[in-house]
Amino acid sequence: MSNLMPDTIGSEAALDEVLTQPRTELVQFIKTLKSPLLILGAGGKMGPSLAVLARRAADAAGHPLEVIAASRFSDSAARDWLEGRGVRTVVTDALRREDFAVLPEAGNVIYLVGQKFGTSANPSRTWITNTLAPALAAERFRSARMVALSTANVYPMARVASGGSREEDPLTPLGEYANAAVARERVFEYFSQQFGTHMAMLRLSYALDLRYGVIADLGGKVLRGEPIPLANGYFNAIWQADANELILRSLDLAASPAAAFNLSGPMLAVREVAERLGKLLQRKPVFEGSESETALVCDTSRLDRLLGAPATPLETVLRWTAHWVSRGGRSLDKPTHFETRDGTY
Ligand SMILES: NC(=O)c1ccc[n+]([C@@H]2O[C@H](COP(=O)([O-])OP(=O)(O)OC[C@H]3O[C@@H](n4cnc5c(N)ncnc54)[C@H](OP(=O)(O)O)[C@@H]3O)[C@@H](O)[C@H]2O)c1
């Protein structure tokens, strides 16, 4: 256990090490969890590092917590990676009630299942994933404490000068993905009321590591001299290890009726982040258009007050990213489309 951050990250192994190194706050918290901890939808961008972070925190605490990762594991490498690090995996399709029936009882559940990109091509897939799967999960784990991932896309654009959307704001966004994400929250909320399930819903805005995320997208554009659209000129983002830690510690905030929290770092300006990356990369960023008065931004002060602000400074993430992209570090090739303003994904 260490809270030290390296100057640079030179390989995926080093990146995985940084992403899964538990901080003291998490090691203390994890001792309070009863086995098993179940992570649903663990095969995507966040699930593997989240599961291994929990595993390492429990090991550091000397706490015999079983961590189970359930997903379809469309990417079988994620499954092997988890198994190799002490996380038990179960192949589960969250659209099948019979798959839920064979999952072990769990007192603590993290729900990561979601579908965003590809919505325009296959909207029904997005809607069924974001409605039926939450219903089946909530029905199966009605006695558990649950942290369910949502997204800041549930809000419409907010005025930047207002400081961003707050939890009590209306959930009236644009576009099918965002509306399906509202439905995901409403389904969880309904079951939390019906069954008294203790639940926290986290409206995450842009988690990132060096292989994906808004800052990696911007770093790549600056390096290649590609124009950076400014119309959606502000965003919130959070280093993935910080997001994962706060997701796990949010089990403590689960309540009935379900409580919602914005999860991210402070609001950032696209122009400023690109200019800072430009200095590190010794390139002048090329901009396109100009900032609007509104953007997809949120105010994270509620969760910051309860659990503390994300620990990794922006300066560190910018330095790591510039070093990573300049060396041609691997990208997942999953652009965030942070510039999108019409809700089409
Ligand atoms: N990363 C971000 O910046 C961000 C921002 C806002 C909100 N979120 C939310 O946070 C959650 C986790 O984020 P992420 O980046 O890890 O998302 P992700 O990469 O899309 O991963 C979600 C995973 O859910 C699994 N899944 C989808 N349908 C499933 C099904 N029918 N049964 C079982 N598993 C299924 C998929 O893995 P398999 O193919 O293995 O099943 C998928 O990879 C998502 O719900 C997302 O909406 C993320």
Which mutation among 68, 71, 184 tests ligand 1's pocket best, with the greatest number of atoms within 8 A of CB?
A: 71
Are residues 306 and 167 in contact, defined by beta-carbon separation less than 8 angstroms? Answer: no
Which mutation among 129, 149, 297, 333 tests ligand 1's pocket best, with the greatest number of atoms within 8 A of CB?
A: 149
Q: At what angle do helices 12-19 and 47-61 cross, to 10 degrees?
A: 60
296 lines ligand 1 (CB under 6 A): no
244 lines ligand 1 (CB under 6 A): no
42 lines ligand 1 (CB under 6 A): no
Which mutation among 72, 124, 262, 336 tests ligand 1's pocket best, with the greatest number of atoms within 8 A of CB?
A: 72
Task: Output the CA 287–ligand 1 centroid distance in Å.
Answer: 31
Rg (CA), the chain: 19
| Average pLDDT, 10 consecutive residues per value, the chain (345 residues) | 79 97 98 98 97 98 98 96 98 98 97 88 94 98 98 97 98 95 98 97 97 97 97 97 98 97 98 98 98 97 98 98 97 90 84
48 lines ligand 1 (CB under 6 A): no
Task: Output the CA 208–ligand 1 centroid distance in Å.
Answer: 14
Task: Output the CA 113–ligand 1 centroid distance in Å.
Answer: 4
Is the previous residue joined to 36 through a cis bond, with omega within 30 degrees of 0? yes
Q: How far apart are CA 18 and CA 244, in angstroms?
A: 12
pLDDT for res 226: 97
Q: How far apart are CA 241 and CA 250, in angstroms?
A: 14
pLDDT for res 39: 98
What DSSP string runs through 247-305? HHHGGGG-BSS-EEEEES--EEEHHHHHHHHHHHHT---EEES---SEES-B--HHHHH
258 lines ligand 1 (CB under 6 A): no
pTM of this prediction?
0.97
Paired tokens of 63: 């706490």
36 lines ligand 1 (CB under 6 A): no
pLDDT for res 1: 45
206 lines ligand 1 (CB under 6 A): yes
pLDDT for res 3: 54
Task: Output the CA 115–ligand 1 centroid distance in Å.
Answer: 6
pLDDT for res 310: 98
203 lines ligand 1 (CB under 6 A): no
- What lies within 8 Å, CB to CB, of 310 at 6+ separation is 238, 239, 242, 243, 246, 264, 265
CATH topology of domain 12-208+240-265: Rossmann fold (3.40.50)
Half-sphere exposure of 281 (CA within 13 A, CB side): 28
Are residues 69 and 94 in contact, defined by beta-carbon separation less than 8 angstroms? Answer: no
Are residues 344 and 226 in contact, defined by beta-carbon separation less than 8 angstroms? Answer: no
